Amino acid sequence: MASGGRTRILILGGGFGGVYTAMELERLFKKDPSVEIGLVSKDNYLVFQPMLPEVISGSIGILDVITPIRRLCPRTNLYTRTVESIDVKNKVVTMSSGFRPRPYVLEYDHLVIGLGNQTSFTGQPGLAENALPFKYLGDALVLRNHLIHALEEADIEREAEVRRALLTFVVAGGGFSGVEAIAELNDFVREASHHFRNIDRNEIKTVLLHAGDVILPELPKTLAEFAQNLLRKRGVDIRLNTRLAGATAETALLAGGERIPTKTIVSTVPSAPHAIVAALPFKMERGRIVANEFLEVPDFPGHWALGDCAIVPDVTNAGQPCPPTAQHALRQGTRLARNIAATMGRGQKQRFEFKTLGKLAGLGHRSAVAEILGLKLSGVLAWFMWRVIYLMKLPGLDRKIRVATDWFLDLLLPADIVQLKVDRGAGIARQHYEANEVVFREGDKGDRLYVVVNGNVQIVSEKPGQAPVFIAELGAGDCFGEMALVSDQPRNATARTAGAVDVLTVDREAFHQLFAHLPPLRNLFQQLIAQRMKGSNGGDKK
């Protein structure tokens, strides 16, 4: 983002709050070239979260719940990166690297923080390894594929105990996300089981774990109980006052000591505060930024916060924090944009005021519960209202048409049981280089450790304005690249191939896991670094 006398507004987060802030800023400054708008989002699309559970059952296509941010905000500079640090004093944001392993730095005059929260399994052993989160678009696709895979395996499994575990599906969390997820999951696996010759539908078991006395505590008790009874009639085993404490590859561990044999655990429990946000020097409560009624961060001019990562007073509810809902976030974005404009001489700042219009929860199979403007609805009528309201709110006419078509076809056609296998990226991978190729350059970010399988790699120092200085030549069995990973500093030399080379690469996360928890390996690398530091100071160059 160039300066040149322009006012630079940078938005962090591609959720409802961030995107609607950018949309309103574009509307307000569409004819003003002195204002530059930037938005940082790890994805280049906005996910319409209320419809995400329907991706599980295939009621709507996976791409139909997302809208390209570039289409919604055509005048905004979009940076598809993750935020690594925020320097509030110098008004600088550092982002992750792209194809080139170098950090990307942006300066700003106004910073809007809407980074939301993060999935966290802290204090729940085994969940990070064995539970499936349900928060993002990729999570819905992974879960759907996992469900189909479990059915495929159960169809050919001969051991009854293993087959029962494959056909047991556990969802933790009785809020909106958990209830809608278990409803769609339950409908999908029971309907899809008709296509598997060796699966007995009576063996299918879906379990919802909830720590409270009744599911959907945000709704009136009568509606919550209606949802509870309906799901139970459809075969969902609802365990109230029950908390998921951990997991293994074979079982879900409950807080009371009970174990449920299962191969599928879905966690929708509340997420933890965003780590980048929690490290900021702002006033915080429970890891969230305390903003005032104008969505400003007090004592830090030019800094604003909204959405799940902020505590914004609800002036319509005696100053209590606004609930973390989409309807609040998008309206906060609109008001925040107008208040930024007011600081630039366009009108007066106004406090954020909005009263919740209603709450809806889909229960699958043409049922829902809803409270709209105080009116309580349940069953088919609530389901119809659920679809009409969310279809109207879905951004983009093309997406509305696609979703409406999907819903119509879903009434006529059977559930799709195609499994799209999506494997997780390996921490260890193999890479091939031809002669005189650069593996990494001096000054690049340390993102991988390299082990030479065959061939030779030359390590040279290439300072600007100086002739290259040869440091070492490495062959099969040698490793390089560890110094930048251990010190978290930029690469201090360039690695270039002397011929055809094959290497094994270990990514940053895998390396740090090994380095932290395997003392012999840690000692080995510390000795290797000490030896190479000695060589770089005039001793052994290798």
Q: pLDDT tens across 122-144, in order?
A: 778 888 888 999 988 889 999 99
Identify whether 344 is part of a domain. Answer: yes
Q: Which of 340, 356, 372 is the last residue of a domain?
A: 356
pLDDT < 50 regions, the chain: 1-2, 539-542
CA 378 to the chain's CA centroid: 32
179 and 132 belong to one structural domain: yes
Which whole-number Å values give the CA distances from 419 to 147, 185, 213, 294, in the listed order? 9, 15, 37, 47
What DSSP letter does each residue of 319-368 carry, written as one string? Answer: TEEPPS-HHHHHHHHHHHHHHHHHHTTSS----------EEEEE-STT-E
Tokens at residue 253, please? 């561990």
Residue 398: give its domain's CATH number. Answer: 3.50.50.100
Which whole-number Å values give the CA distances from 520 to 453, 487, 517, 525, in the listed order? 22, 18, 9, 9
Tokens at residue 388, please? 């009409």
28 and 146 belong to one structural domain: no
The pLDDT value recorded for residue 299 is 94
438 and 492 belong to one structural domain: yes
351 and 370 belong to one structural domain: no
Identify whether 218 is part of a domain. Answer: yes
This prediction's pTM: 0.85
Tokens at residue 536, please? 């770089």
Identify whether 2 is part of a domain. Answer: no
Domain of residue 17, residue span: 7-42+80-118+272-356
If we measure between CA atoms, which residue out of 485, 465, 482 comes closest to residue 474? Answer: 482
Identify whether 59 is part of a domain. Answer: no
The pLDDT value recorded for residue 537 is 58
Residues 3 and 180: their CA atoms lie apart, in Å, by: 46
If we measure between CA atoms, which residue out of 89, 132, 122 comes closest to residue 107? Answer: 89
34 and 179 belong to one structural domain: no
Element (H, E) at 9: strand 7-12
**Number of structural domains found in the chain:** 3
Identify whether 61 is part of a domain. Answer: no
All residues at 6 or more sequence positions from 101 whose CB lies less than 8 Å from its CB, including other chains:
440, 444, 445, 446, 447
Identify whether 239 is part of a domain. Answer: yes
Residue 435: give its domain's CATH number. Answer: 2.60.120.10
Q: Residue 466 gets which letter from DSSP? A: S
153 and 249 belong to one structural domain: yes
Residues 451 and 362: their CA atoms lie apart, in Å, by: 51
Q: Looking at this protein, which amino acid is placed at residue 516?
A: A
Residue 309: give its domain's CATH number. Answer: 3.50.50.60
254 and 137 belong to one structural domain: yes
The pLDDT value recorded for residue 269 is 77
Q: Hey, which residues does 8 pair with through a beta bridge?
A: 36
Identify whether 541 is part of a domain. Answer: no
Residues 45 and 52: their CA atoms lie apart, in Å, by: 14
400 and 303 belong to one structural domain: no
The pLDDT value recorded for residue 541 is 37
If we measure between CA atoms, which residue out of 282, 315, 375, 347 comes closest to residue 28? Answer: 347
222 and 330 belong to one structural domain: no
23 and 107 belong to one structural domain: yes
- Is residue 171 classed exposed, middle or buried when 0-12, 13-18 and 19+ CB atoms within 10 A define those classes? buried
Q: Hey, which residues does 85 pair with through a beta bridge?
A: 94
Quote the mean pLDDT of the chain: 90
If we measure between CA atoms, which residue out of 9, 37, 16, 10 comes closest to residue 310? Answer: 16
14 and 35 belong to one structural domain: yes
- Residue 42: how many CB atoms within 10 A of its CB? 15
Identify whether 65 is part of a domain. Answer: no
139 and 260 belong to one structural domain: yes
The pLDDT value recorded for residue 2 is 47
